[in-house]
Amino acid sequence: MIAVVSALGMTAVLGGCGSTGSSDVTLRLVAADYGDSDANSSRTYWDQLVKDYESRHKGVKVQVSVYSWNDVDRKVKQMVDAGDPPDMAQIGSYADYAAKGLLHKADDLLSISVQADLVGRLSEAGQLRHVQYGIPFAASTRVLFYNKELFAKANLTPPTTWDELAAGAHALKAEGVKYPYALPLGPEEAQAETMQWLLSGGSGYTDDFGAYSIDSPRNVQTLTWLKDELVGKDLTGPVAPGRLNRADAFAAFAAGEVGMLNGHPTLMRQAAKKGVEFGMVPMPGRDGEAKATMGVTDWMMGFRGNGHQEQIGDFLDFVYSEKNVLDFSRRYDLLPVTGSASRTMAAADRDKNLRPFLEELPSTQLYPVGRTSWAGVAADVKKRIGRAVAPNGSPAAVLGRLQATAANAGTGD
């Protein structure tokens, strides 16, 4: 998941305004809610978009059901298992459905111009066995956030290496900062924080050929450094990393209690609401700026079986117009997934706060979402990774167990 996890869990069915007739088609879309309140629920975005679309397409109605991130993937699975899939779903993963032959190919839905406008790196991540089924919908990258006031008190400049980050954390601790560096390895989103650190250490979840390499020597070195130099020296705050969730770390940053942490664009608004002055820099690497940063994208997909391929494709062409992509990205402080919208955002003064994230996009590495085993591997990381940096933990043992589970699960990819 990219951004805030809404607790709304509501369904919105959006009606149309087109004329009816014998050829009328009703498309059903299940979508995730990126808002954090009724006022900015994704329902308002889809309501306006569908109204605009139906006014131009008299023979098509679109019903959109919006669910919280806690519920949306499960809801789609229930519909599919019941033999009644939606025409489209905008959710967190696509590979399982693609592997079962349930999805249209992106080629069969999108016009050539729209497909060519998608950011290449994101489109590639939407492929299963070299065929694209997942259409990127919204993206984010990670940068290092730091509290400017706390840094000024400790006479610090933003770190560019791990050693500088550790030295800064020591200085912040000496100033009484509650969380010098917040390290959220709790079950909410541990796979994200873990991946960012693995990338900054020069490795990742997979190798250059796409095979799982979770227990690579570099990854063991990275987790060992975290355990010894940050956690072991009491620089990560009063909550053990394995029990600290990302949402709680973000809330602590917005409360002025965190010196540094990895964050995505939605943290900007959260911190600004609380009056926290913050800066953003690329994630430090072992000896300099990390060569790659973590990116996340959510997915749009079209389900087969309802006989609406042409109408789904036409609607998605409208969804991925520059105007609509920009509107969604700006509403929720996310990165656009098309080149045209990205160029517009990069040049616009109103979007200057998102430029650090946009600049990270070309070098971003995404989860191995094209593997049907990834969901299980991610769940295993969430469950176990905190133990690797615990006082009596063994990074090598934990990563080794994760690798064994991943390798076994990956045989069916």
- CA–CA separation, 388 vs 365, rounded Å? 23
CA angle 39, 250, 74 (to 5 degrees): 60
Distant-in-sequence, close-in-space partners of 143: CB < 8 Å, separation ≥ 6: 262, 263, 280, 281, 282, 283, 293, 356, 357, 360
Q: Residue 275, CB half-sphere, CA atoms under 13 Å: how many?
A: 0
pTM, full prediction = 0.84
Question: Would you mind telling me the total number of residues written for the chain in this entry?
Answer: 413
**Class of CATH domain 143-282+373-412:** alpha beta
Residue reference for tokens 């911190």? 271
Multiple choice CATH, 25-140+296-365, 3.30.530.20, 3.40.50.10380, 1.10.150.120, 3.40.190.10: 3.40.190.10
Q: Which two tokens stand for residue 410?
A: 């990956």
Q: What is the mean pLDDT of the chain?
A: 91
Distance (Å) of CA 151 to CA 158, 179, 252, 261, 284: 8, 13, 16, 13, 16
pLDDT category of residue 255 using cuts at 50, 70 and 90: very high
Show me where the domains of the chain are located: 25-140+296-365, 143-282+373-412
Cα 310 to chain centroid distance, Å, stands at 29
pLDDT value at position 19? 35
Note whether 283 and 290 are within 8 A (CB).
yes
- The reply to whether 143-282+373-412 shares the fold of 25-140+296-365 is yes
* Percent of the residues in the chain that have a pLDDT greater than 70, as a whole number: 94
- CA–CA separation, 378 vs 304, rounded Å? 27
For residue 15, what is the DSSP state?
Answer: -
Distant-in-sequence, close-in-space partners of 250: CB < 8 Å, separation ≥ 6: 261, 263, 267, 270
Q: Which of 254, 241, 194 is nearest to 4 (CA)?
A: 254
Q: Give residue-wise pLDDT tens across range 72-114.
A: 999 999 999 999 999 999 999 999 999 999 999 999 999 999 9
Q: Give residue-wise pLDDT tens across range 282-339.
A: 999 999 888 788 999 999 999 998 889 999 999 999 999 999 999 999 999 999 999 9
pLDDT over 60 (residue 14): no
Q: Give residue-wise pLDDT tens across range 145-187.
A: 999 999 999 999 999 999 999 999 999 999 999 999 999 999 9
> Which carries the bigger pLDDT value, residue 7 or residue 202?
202
